[in-house]
Every structure is written in C-alpha cells, then in structure tokens.
Structure 1
Amino acid sequence: MTEVVMDKAAITTADPEIERSTIRKVALRLMWFVMAMYFLAILDRGNISFAALQMNKELGLNAEKFGIAVGIMYFTYSIFEIPSNLILSKYGARVTLTRIAILWGIATVLMAFTQGPLSLYAFRGFLGFAESGLFPGVMLLLSLWFPFSYRARYNAMFNYAVPISYIFASLISGAILELNGVFGISGWKWLFILEGLPPVILGIVGIFYLTDRPQQASWLSTAQRNWLIGALERDAKATGVVHAEGVLRTITKPMVLLFGLCNFGLFCGLASLFPWLPQIIKSFGLPNSQVGFVTAIPPVAGLIGMIALSRHSDHVGERFYYAAMTFVIAAAGFAIAAFSTSPVWIIIGFMVANVGVYGTQAVFWTIPQSYMSRQSAPGAIGLVSTIGSIGGATIPIVIGRAKDASGSFTIGFLVVTGVLLVAATLVLIARTQLVKE
C-alpha cells in the first residue's frame, strides 16, 4: 500500500470544518468494520450460553465443566494476546485483524463437531487463540486514527457492539435452537455453524478494505491527512511520561500493571454477564424462544447506559472517577442478582450490572491509551488486556464450582461483586499515582 508523505508545513491551526470532516470520514471508514468484527466475535464467544440449553444435557456437562469451557477461551486468549498485538504493530491491522476474523470463524464452526467435554475445551481453546489480540488490536488501531479528545466516544461506539451482539444473539439463538434435528443435526450445532461463517467472509473483505495508518490513507484529502497526522503527533508529545521508553520497560511499570488489575475486574464482570443468564431464565420454566427475548433485556439497558456515560465523560473530560463509578454500579447489579429469588429482581440486577460493566468498558480504555506512547502501546495495551483476560478465564470456573457446591449463583455473584469493588478502588489509586508522576 502506498504511503503518503505529510507536508509538515501544512500543519497549522486547523479549520474546524477540516477537523470535523476528517473525523467524520475516518469514523465512516473504520467504525462499521471494527464494530462488525467485534459484534461477530462477541456472538461467537457468547453462543455457548444458548448452546448450553441443549448441549449441556447432550454432553453431560455440569456447571463447573461448563464454566471451564467458558473460561478456557479467555485463558488461551490471554497467552497469545501480547504477541498478537506486537505482530499488529509490525505488520499492521489489515493483516492481523483479518487473520483473527478468519481463524475464529473456523474455530466456531469446529465446535459443531464437539463430542464431549474434552473436545469442547479444545475447540474453545482454539477460539481463544484465534481471537487473541482482537480487542487490544482494535484499541491500538483506534489510537492510531483518533486524537485523544475523540477516543472515549469512538471507543464507546466500538464497544456498543457488545450489548448489540448480545441483544441480537438473544433474539435469534432461541430460533436457531429450534432447528434441532434438521438434517439430523442438533440445534446447538446449527448455532455454531451458522454463526461461524460470517467472520470468515468479513476477514476476506478486510484484506482489501483496511488501511493501517493515516499516512497511507489515500481516501483522505491532503488537508485532512495533514491535520490528522499533526493532531496525533501533538497527542504523542503530550504523553511524555513513557514516550521515550522501550516496550519491556513500559510493560513492567507499576502503572501499567495497575491498569491490568483494573481490567482484571472489568473482565470478571464481562465474563459473568451473559454465560449464565439464559440458564437462569430457563430455570423460570420458559421455552427457548421466550428465554431469548427475556435475555435481551439487560443488554438493552447496558447499551443505553454505555452511550449516556461515555458521552457525558467526553463532555466533562473526566475518566478516572467515571470508571470508578461504573465499577461500583456493576458491583451493585451483581449484588442485587446474588440476593434475589424473584425473576423480576434478578433481571433488574442484571440490567444494573450491564449498565455498569459496559459503561466501564467504554470509559476505562481511554485511560491506558492516553498513558502509553505509540512506541510502547502495543506491548503495554496487550499486557493490560492479557491480565484482564485472566479474570475472564477464572471467574466462570469459580461461579460454576460454587453453583455445583451450593445449588445457587449467590456465592459466585458475590465474588464478582467484591472483585468489582476492588477494581473501583484501584482506579482511584491509579489516578493518585498518575497525578504524582
């Protein structure tokens, strides 16, 4: 791809219209694609939640074995996350993100060939390997295209794909399960087949569509390209805390590790929102089709909360206090769900938890993005995401084991509540430390 050389003399105080038109064009070019990627990724991570309504009985899975199947994806995801992000930094988004999409689509289809717990673990592990680097890779990509003042809203827009995907999954998965027996194939296997093919197609499209950096963006005018490169360079100079440091030194800084622990809490929340909810709702005695509609309610609340919180955070320019507040909201939601026996209150608890978790996801990632320089960002963002993924790997197993031991989700959801409150505290500690630096 041809790289366009910037005329530095052209970087002057930008016409506000140049700024608006540039951001609008970049958003229209990139956001639909990365949102579609994340939408399909979340769909393929979460379809096991609905597959469980038939699969668990067919394969003989208890809650702990199901929790292992959910968590093992995050485990392999975390192992390969930093290498994948460093590869993205070296070879660009076009190669790395399209490879990720094609591989995870194949991994999802393979899950239709599951014969028992061990093969399920193997295919879920392969899915985690295939998806490794997706989220931090897109976070890195957005940091290369959007100046800091715009990142919260576009990070949030990217993350809108999560609740939208869960809403969509909830509405269609019950119907797909009704294909049970068509051509002699179980409904849960149809779920994996039909939802695994689209990312393969999207990955092939991305090979010809994506642009790695603004310098290569022939689809921007010269004035737009020069403004964008200049704005990003000014942002880079403003991150002087770690600008001149190498990747190894940066990823071992206490602040980066602190961000990682905050993200551990966030992933614990994310990995607890959806995997168990269809089974909980099914226990109310509803058919699969109605389970889907009820399961869609909490993600709708999460989407509304994410939009409102991210926009207000951008408006006031505050990140740390917002992230701490949304962690507390999420903790309150899981606490409500933990102590409730009424179906209505359980759904309300999950609605509150969705608002908090998705609000946190939208706001939190602007903090490490602003702290890292372009030189150190690939490894550092990868480490932050890796530590988070460990939370996603462990919490489903904890919840599953507690469910088998006690017969309810109370203990597991209270563990999630505690982790989220600790994460809220760590965000405030990070703010204090950053002020000192």
Structure 2
Amino acid sequence: MNATTVDEGMGVIHRLATRKAMVRLIPLMCAIYFLSFIDRTNVALAKTALAADLGISAAAYGLGAGIFFIGYALLEVPSNLATHRVGPRRWIARIAVSWGVLSTAMMFVQGEWSFYILRVLLGVAEAGLFPALMYMVTLWFAPKDRAVAVGWIYTAPSVALIIGNPLGAALMQLGGVGGLHGWQWMFLLEGVPTIVAGIVIYFKLPDRPTSVRWLTAQEAQALETHAVVNVHGHAERFSTDWLAAIKRRTTILISLIYFLNQVAFVGLYFFTPAIVGQMHVTSPLLVGLLSSSVGFGFLVGVLALPRIHRRVSNDCAFLGSLTAGLVVSGCAFIATGNQTVQIILLGATGFFAGGILPSYWAVAMKRLQGVQAAAGLAFINTVGLLGGFAGPYLFGLTETLSKRSDSGFNVIVAASVIGLCLVPLLARAIRAEERPGAGHGAAAHLKTSKADSPG
C-alpha cells in the first residue's frame, strides 16, 4: 500500500469522524448557547414593563443591558484558562448552572440598583462560555471545518432571536398569575431550563476525541491530528506563554474589529423590540414576531456565509465585503420611512452583522493553538464583550437624546465604517505574519493555511 493510498484512507476516516463529532457535539453546544442567549437577551422584552412597574428609564435600561458585559469581560481570560486546565465539560456545566440560578433571580428585581447588580452577576456567571465552546472547536475540528462548525453554533443565538422574542412575549401574558408580573414569569420559566441543561452537559459533553466511546481509536486519532495547526517553524504557537497570543497584532486587530461589530449588533438586538414598538405596533406578541426578523437574517447569514467563505481565497476581502454590506443596510434603514422596508432591513442588518461572526473566529483560530488558543480566543471575546456593553449604552443614549429608538442605527453605521477601515490593517498584519522569516508565518504555514482554511 503506497503513501497516497494511506493518506486517502486517513482522509476518509477523518471525514467520517468529523461528521460523527458534528452530530454528537454541535447539538449540545447549540443548546447551551441557545439558552444563554435567551437568558441574556430576554430583558429586551421586559424593557417597557420594567419602566412601567419599576420606573427604570431607557438610559438606565441601556446601562443595565450593557453592564452585563462588564462582569463577563473581566473574567473571560481567567475563565477560559480554567477551561484549559479542568476541561470544557466541567467548566461549561459550572457556568450553565450558576448563570441559570442568577437568570431566574432576575424575577426579584426591585429597581435600578438591583437591576444593575443582577445583570453584573449574570455576566460574571456566564463568563467564559462562548470562548470555551470555541476552544472545544480547536480541539475537535480541522481548520478547514471550523468556520462551518462555528456557523452551526451561531445558529443557536439566531434561533433564539427568532423564537425567543415571541416565546418571551407569550410568557409575559402570564402577568397576574400567582401574583407575579409577566416579566417575572418570563425570567423564571426561561432560567430554570438552563440549570437542567448544565446538569445534562456535565454528563454528556466530552472533553476530547480520545475520551469518548462512539469513536474508534483511528477516528479519535484522526480528529486530534487534523485539529493541530501546522506550526512548522512557529514554536511560539505551541508556547505556554499565553500572553504572547494576546500581544499578537492579528489578535489585537481582530479584537478591535469584533468590538465594533458587537457595538452595532448587540445594540441592535437589545433595542429591536423598541424599534418595532415605535412603528405603532401595540400587540406585545406582534412586536415579538416582527422583532424576530433580525434573528431570521442572522440565521441565514451563519448558515450561508461560512460555506461561501470556504470558497474565497482572501479572508480580509471577505470580511471587508460583509462589513460594507452592513454599512449599506444601516444607511438604507436610516434613509427610508417605509415600515415594511425597515422590517426587511432589520433582517438584512442581522444577516451581515451576525453572519460575519463565524468568519472572525475562523481567521483567529488559524493563528492560535493549545493554551494560546484558550487565552487568545478569550481575549478576543473579552474585547467584543466590551462592545456588547458600549452598544446598548450608546443606543440608550441616542434614544434618550432623540426620543426615537431607531436613532441607534446611526451607531450601527458609525461603528461599521470604523470597522471597515480596520480591515486593511488586519490584512497587512496577516501578510506580515505569513512573510518568510517573520517569526510568525513561514511559507510552509502559509501553504497549509490556504489549504486548510475556511477562506
């Protein structure tokens, strides 16, 4: 048997193992991320009720919605280093149970300060979840499969945006039952399932390919071998110096671009119900249904765009084109007064702002390995979370000043234009890393990246 035949056989084994891993892991990862997104964003539906029942203003709501990301961001890197140390299964289960408890406790909010405190604690509890999922992707999937794997994971928040708003609106109709407000029922009935899911994760989510029985020894070895990025001449990528990953120019620039994306996208989905509500839509259920347009656009984006990315040779050109699309959709929303067109443009904005996310992570994962992946991916998410704080806060300020929720689209356009300007700098940094003799990217790695990358 010659070497070519052996390589082809190993390729078949790896493809089969990858399909098995996708089927076994992705549903669990999607489920836990879906619940986290429901618990994180259901406060958007409670905005009006919190103002009426507790006197929480639009600016206070924007601060409370965004302050969640401060506690989250501060603990992202330490949390993901703990993921590397104790294993994803235990750590993700711990995260889910603790944030489920605190999400349920949101039903006891009494005013602005208790609102702020519980939102901060919720962020602290959830810190590290998403980068832990991304770290798992680096352990299980080859670089060429990661954008698709991450795209599948991102279907969770997109579906949450589609069904979460109508579901939350329906639960709020329970107001008066048992002497509770509708928003209290929503927090209770959407928080408890997360606690249950955390327990299931502890028993069902494996850490590595070699720790499961549903893979043969050959399949497990194939997954672990292909998941390792070719770092010939780049020992620093296997270094235990996790700070080196954070200092890398590509990591910093991806973080900044992701920050600006999150300013736009997080602000959008926290304020979409309010934007729809100002269109003279009075039914809470109809507000929830129309608000799901952002989720539909998001879902189409994360399913379609990673597959397109695999066929594009230039990562940064792809990122730039999607960011430009976001600028166009934002400007179009501002320019039109037709409410039907605006609902469609909410979906288009979700398509570009959300659909681009798997590509950010695929580009970052190519340059990070081992503990550096744990630290670098957590750092990128930390910076993005700061954008998640800034976005709702800026949307709240613009609404307070203009008296219109849709004025937040000016924030979307401004953040996207700045992000578009940073994409060429990222392209230059990537070329510098890939330049032979540059220390971060020999020709051998460049060839491997092009062969294995999703772009």
Q: With structure 1 as the length reference, what TM-score do the two structures score?
A: 0.93
Does the CA contact (< 8 Å) of 2:99 and 2:125 recur in 1? yes
Correspondences of 1:311-326 after superposition (within 5 Å): 311-326=307-322
**How far does the alpha carbon of each residue in 1:237-269 deviate from its partner, in whole angstroms, 9 at most, with x for none?**
269384144212221222221111011012112
SS at match of 2:24: helix
**How far does the alpha carbon of each residue in 1:188-221 deviate from its partner, in whole angstroms, 9 at most, with x for none?**
1111000001111111011111211223233210
- Over 3 Å counting, the alpha-carbon distance change for 1:432 and 1:241 in structure 2 is farther
- Of 63, 67, 71, the residue aligned with 2:66 is 71
Question: Equivalents in 2 of 1:242, 1:407: separation in Å?
Answer: 52
Structure 2 partner of 1:104: 99
CA apart distance, 1:336: 2.8
- Of 176, 181, 187, the residue aligned with 2:182 is 187
CA apart distance, 1:334: 2.6
Does the CA contact (< 8 Å) of 2:231 and 2:237 recur in 1? yes
SS at match of 1:431: helix
**How far does the alpha carbon of each residue in 1:4-51 deviate from its partner, in whole angstroms, 9 at most, with x for none?**
xxxxx9x95252431221011111111000000111111111100111
1:164 equivalenced with 2:184 (yes/no)? no
- Over 3 Å counting, the alpha-carbon distance change for 1:395 and 1:241 in structure 2 is farther
Question: Equivalents in 1 of 2:216, 2:356: separation in Å?
Answer: 35
Structure 1 partner of 2:413: 417
Q: Which 10-residue stretch deviates more, 120-129 or 210-219?
A: 210-219
Structure 1 partner of 2:388: 392
Does the CA contact (< 8 Å) of 1:339 and 1:410 recur in 2? no
Correspondences of 1:282-321 after superposition (within 5 Å): 282-283=277-278, 284-321=280-317
CA apart distance, 1:434: 1.1
- Aligned letter for 2:81? L
**How far does the alpha carbon of each residue in 1:53-85 deviate from its partner, in whole angstroms, 9 at most, with x for none?**
322211112211110111011111100111101
SS at match of 1:190: helix
SS at match of 1:61: coil
CA apart distance, 1:270: 2.4
- Aligned letter for 1:386? T
SS at match of 2:356: helix
**How far does the alpha carbon of each residue in 1:115-163 deviate from its partner, in whole angstroms, 9 at most, with x for none?**
0011011111111111111111111111110000100111100001111
- Aligned letter for 2:370? R
Does the CA contact (< 8 Å) of 2:269 and 2:294 recur in 1? no
Structure 1 partner of 2:53: 58
Does the CA contact (< 8 Å) of 1:242 and 1:373 recur in 2? no
- Aligned letter for 1:251? I
- Aligned letter for 1:388? G
Residue identity over aligned pairs, in percent, reads 27
CA apart distance, 1:377: 1.1
Question: Equivalents in 2 of 1:64, 1:274: separation in Å?
Answer: 16
- Of 324, 327, 333, the residue aligned with 1:328 is 324
1:337 equivalenced with 2:333 (yes/no)? yes
- Of 207, 210, 234, the residue aligned with 1:240 is 234
Structure 2 partner of 1:173: 168
Does the CA contact (< 8 Å) of 2:73 and 2:382 recur in 1? yes
SS at match of 2:102: helix
- Of 9, 14, 23, the residue aligned with 1:28 is 23
Does the CA contact (< 8 Å) of 2:172 and 2:183 recur in 1? yes
Does the CA contact (< 8 Å) of 2:264 and 2:416 recur in 1? yes
- Aligned letter for 2:248? K
Structure 1 partner of 2:148: 153
Question: Equivalents in 2 of 1:98, 1:61: separation in Å?
Answer: 33
CA apart distance, 1:324: 1.9
Q: Which 10-residue stretch deviates more, 317-326 or 43-52?
A: 317-326
Question: Equivalents in 2 of 1:61, 1:196: separation in Å?
Answer: 22
Structure 2 partner of 1:225: 220
Q: Which 10-residue stretch deviates more, 253-262 or 196-205?
A: 253-262
Question: Equivalents in 2 of 1:237, 1:216: separation in Å?
Answer: 25
Q: Cα RMSD between the aligned structures? A: 1.9
**How far does the alpha carbon of each residue in 1:165-210 deviate from its partner, in whole angstroms, 9 at most, with x for none?**
1111122122111111011100011110000011111110111112
Question: Equivalents in 2 of 1:349, 1:358: separation in Å?
Answer: 14
Structure 2 partner of 1:3: none
- Aligned letter for 2:155? Y
Mind listing any 5+ residue stretches in structure 2 that lack a counterpart? Answer: 434-455
Q: Which 10-residue stretch deviates more, 136-145 or 342-351?
A: 342-351
SS at match of 1:160: helix
**How far does the alpha carbon of each residue in 1:397-428 deviate from its partner, in whole angstroms, 9 at most, with x for none?**
11111211121245532122111122123233
CA apart distance, 1:317: 4.8
- Of 363, 367, 372, the residue aligned with 2:363 is 367
- Of 202, 205, 208, the residue aligned with 1:210 is 205
CA apart distance, 1:110: 0.4
- Over 3 Å counting, the alpha-carbon distance change for 1:428 and 1:12 in structure 2 is farther
1:269 equivalenced with 2:264 (yes/no)? yes
Question: Equivalents in 1 of 2:41, 2:380: separation in Å?
Answer: 22
Does the CA contact (< 8 Å) of 1:319 and 1:364 recur in 2? no
Question: Equivalents in 2 of 1:286, 1:318: separation in Å?
Answer: 46
1:352 equivalenced with 2:348 (yes/no)? yes
Does the CA contact (< 8 Å) of 2:274 and 2:405 recur in 1? no
Structure 2 partner of 1:6: none
Does the CA contact (< 8 Å) of 1:239 and 1:371 recur in 2? no
1:429 equivalenced with 2:425 (yes/no)? yes
Does the CA contact (< 8 Å) of 1:242 and 1:376 recur in 2? no
SS at match of 2:110: coil
- Aligned letter for 2:83? L
SS at match of 2:370: coil
Question: Equivalents in 2 of 1:413, 1:239: separation in Å?
Answer: 46
